[in-house]
Amino acid sequence: MEPQYARLVKSAALAATALASILLLIKIVAWYHTGSVSLLAALVDSLVDIAASLTNLLVVRYSLQPADEEHTFGHGKAESLAALAQSMFISGSALFLFLTGFQHLYSPETLRDPGVGIAVTVVALFSTLLLVTYQRWVVRKTRSQAVRADMLHYQSDVMMNGAILIALALSWYGFQRADALFALAIGVYILYSALRMGHEAVQSLLDRALPDDERQAIIDVISSWPGVKGAHDLRTRQSGPTRFIQLHLEMDDALPLIQAHLLAEQVEQALLHRFPGADVLIHQDPCSVVPEGRQGRWEL
């Protein structure tokens, strides 16, 4: 496992947990002073943030463990499980927002000291925006599904804090139901994010193939290699940071076994150069055993 991957993923999980804990304390004080249902929604979301980020941190630590006798492909799938768990946490918070929002929509309450709520929301908005910016950078570097799920979660927080600012401002000027309406709108968006996140996690657990551009890059590498006549039965998947690449290479019938082995080794090294840390498995086929319609082709 690459040291940089482990360091970046752990730092992103720690940063998210620390920020969620600090914001929770601030929002408790703000909600107590204002009675805003939108701030209550933000408070509940911070509780979910802490639970999700702590789960994320523990699972990320587990997923970084090397392969062992019982888990010969490593523990990378734990990241997908973390993302699935986060989607469940977030769905629960969305349900709470719906119930609270409907209650306050039909029985609106006058806010107390909305200025405090606005100040706290501004702090939460900008601090969360900084966290999301850092998480996006980590995702670009690592492609971690767990960090990406956390980033999507905090992106929804940025939108939520922006909506809360508008709701508090409208309530300050007498539109009492704005607080509840924005809480309902926030709940809809959070539920959408949770369902999308859960779908991505399930696809990973079901071993979805690598993206088309990456599979095309694999074909580009092997098709440019001298001595390789074609390739077929390409199968790919990803578990945590590790890409798994399996394929059949087509070679001349008369090629000695040792040369076929060396050729496959060269192609494997070229793929590892293109996809560092990948697990590559190559089977060598004489051209004559490949069905006529598939000989000399480069199949995705």
What pLDDT score does 64 carry? 74
Q: How far apart are CA 97 and CA 184, in angstroms?
A: 6
User: What pLDDT, on the 0 to 100 scale, is given for residue 217?
Assistant: 92
- Please check if 157 is assigned to a binding site: yes
Backbone dihedral angles phi then psi of residue 237, each to the nearest 5 degrees: -165, 175
User: Order of strands across the sheet with 242-251?
Assistant: 230-239, 242-251, 279-286
Mean pLDDT score of the chain, rounded to an integer? 81
* Digit-coded pLDDT (tens) for 218-247: 999 998 888 888 888 899 998 877 889 999
Angle subtended at Cα 63 by Cα 70 and Cα 196, rounded to the nearest 5 degrees:
120
From the list 241, 269, 277, 259, the residue with the least C-alpha distance to 79 is 241
> How many Å apart are CA 65 and CA 67, to the nearest integer?
7
What value does the mean pLDDT take over residues 98-119?
74
How far apart CA 18 and CA 56 sit, in angstroms, is 13
Query: Count H helices, E strands: the chain?
Result: 8, 3
Whether residue 13 is predicted with pLDDT greater than 90 in this model: the reply is no
| Mean local confidence (pLDDT), 59-78 | 78
Is residue 115 classed as helix, strand or coil in its secondary structure? helix
What's the rounded mean pLDDT across residues 116-133? 87
Mean pLDDT is lowest, of 37-46, 62-71, 285-294, for: 37-46
Contact criterion met (CB below 8 Å) for 247 and 282 = yes
pLDDT exceeds 60 at position 296: no
- Segment 111-125 shows an average pLDDT of 78
| Position 262 pLDDT exceeds 90 | yes
Question: 3-class secondary structure for 45-70?
Answer: HHHHHHHHHHHHHHHHHHHCCCCCCC
Give the N- to C-terminal CA distance of the chain in Å, as an integer.
27
Mean pLDDT of 28-40: 76
CB 149 within 8 A of CB 83: yes
49 is in an annotated binding site: yes
Say if residue 63's pLDDT is above 90: no
Residue type, position 239, single letter: S
Helix (H) or strand (E) holding 16: helix 3-34
**pLDDT tens sequence across 129-174:** 999 999 999 988 887 777 877 787 788 778 777 877 887 787 777 7
What pLDDT was estimated at residue 254? Answer: 87
Contact 13, 60 (CB under 8 A): yes
Q: Which two tokens stand for residue 217?
A: 């890059």
Strands (E), 141-220: none
pLDDT at 130: 93
Walk me through the domains of the chain, giving residue ranges and CATH numbers: 3-205 (1.20.1510.10), 212-294 (3.30.70.1350)
- Integer Cα distance of 48 and 89 in angstroms: 6
d(CA 53, CA 61): 12
Is 33 labeled as ligand-binding?
no
Please choose, from the candidates 124, 154, 159, the residue with its C-alpha nearest in 3D space to the C-alpha of residue 139: 154
Q: What is the pLDDT of residues 196-214, one digit of tens each?
A: 888 888 888 888 889 888 9
